[in-house]
Amino acid sequence: MIGCGKSVPFEFPLSARSGGKVVEHANQLEEHLPPCNNIHVSLKNTWTQHSPVGYLYRNKWHSTQCNSTFDGSPKALKTCLSGKYVWIFGDSTTRQFFVWFYNRLNMRMKTEKWNGIIAWHKPSNATTSDGKFNTFWGIHALPFYGTVDEKTPSIGTHAYLDNIPAHSKGIAILHFSTHFVAFHPDIIRKHMRKTKDSAQALLKRAPELLIVVKGCHAYTERKTPSVHVDQFYDFWGKVYDRIWKEEFSVLMNDVLFLDVWDITMSGEAVPIHPPDDTILTPLINHMLSFYCY
């Protein structure tokens, strides 16, 4: 079921013949699982669990490891994230996370406004009207394609992590993927290895921070054949996920691995940027289920 190329939805093939009892039974199973924020739910399982790690049903991601209880409402977000900071690093697919928080909480920019530019690549910082929640997004260091110029700083994710203050509370989201596909995998491994060292040091000085590794996603869209980044589709996705697991092996008990491959396969994610309602929102709600109480 899992592979490169055209996305195939994850389905219960017997549901039509069984009057939906298969799906109903699966939902009952999830309800009996411990909440994802339960202290007994091991973060290591998010790294080692075999595929499929869940299924998409009625635009909600149902994990087979734990019960995703977070509903993503503005009220729930404010309750959970008040006094917190969410740092987001990566590419345009993590910029989607930044925009998601920005829109849900009606935030305002503290840095330069985007001015309608969709492919914005400059570091961005936003806050809520009461200043109780802040979020930051920055691209990873080169290689990076797009509208990056000499005015856009190329800062390594590890360097960003090194600058997060001690005793910080919130979430740090890490991601490397699409912009590396034209290069040997050793390049992305070097980025991940440096990031691991910084993540390890960060957890020691800020133990209440949740670090999240956003895995690779499946997609088949090819928008610009002249750009190397689109020519390989998601070919390297599962390889990159394996490298993440190799490099972060010593941190598996302390870092959440967000398996994006299975949810994008489930939702037939053709676009390189997963759609909001069917993929992005269920994914972020699942992530926050591990953090919010």
pLDDT at 146: 65
Residue 178 has which token pair?
A: 């699409």
pLDDT digits (tens, 9 = 90+) for 57-80: 877 778 888 988 899 999 999 999
pLDDT at 285: 93
pLDDT at 252: 96
Q: Does 112 fall in a domain? A: yes
The CATH number assigned to the domain holding 51 equals 3.40.50.1110
Q: Does 155 fall in a domain? A: yes
Report the half-sphere exposure of 63 (CA within 13 A, side-chain side): 29
Q: 251 or 145: which carries more pLDDT confidence? A: 251
Instruction: Specify whether the CB–CB gap between 254 and 203 falls below 8 A.
Output: yes
Nearest to 119 by CA among 33, 229, 216, 27: 229
- At residue 232 the predicted structure's pLDDT band, cuts being 50, 70 and 90, is low
- At residue 170 the predicted structure's pLDDT band, cuts being 50, 70 and 90, is very high
Residue 41 has which token pair?
A: 């739910």
pLDDT at 76: 96
User: Mean pLDDT of all residues in the chain?
Assistant: 80
Nearest to 270 by CA among 91, 52, 93, 7: 7
Which amino acid appears at position 230 of this protein?
D
Structural domain total, the chain:
1
Angle between helices 281-289 and 92-104 in degrees, nearest 10: 80
- Mean pLDDT over residues 157-168, rounded? 95
The whole domain housing 184 covers 21-289
- Work out the percent of the chain whose per-residue pLDDT is above 90: 41
Q: Does 247 fall in a domain? A: yes
What is the phi/psi pair of residue 29, to 5°? -65, -45
Q: Does 7 fall in a domain? A: no
pLDDT at 233: 62
Instruction: Specify whether the CB–CB gap between 133 and 127 falls below 8 A.
Output: yes
Q: Does 13 fall in a domain? A: no
Instruction: Specify whether the CB–CB gap between 108 and 126 falls below 8 A.
Output: yes
Q: Does 6 fall in a domain? A: no
- At residue 218 the predicted structure's pLDDT band, cuts being 50, 70 and 90, is confident
pLDDT at 5: 36
Q: Does 1 fall in a domain? A: no
Whole-prediction pTM: 0.83
pLDDT at 249: 96
Q: 240 or 126: which carries more pLDDT confidence? A: 126
Q: Does 15 fall in a domain? A: no
Instruction: Specify whether the CB–CB gap between 86 and 136 falls below 8 A.
Output: yes
Instruction: Specify whether the CB–CB gap between 128 and 117 falls below 8 A.
Output: no
Residues forming beta bridges with residue 56, ordered by sequence position: 61
What is the phi/psi pair of residue 75, to 5°? -65, -45
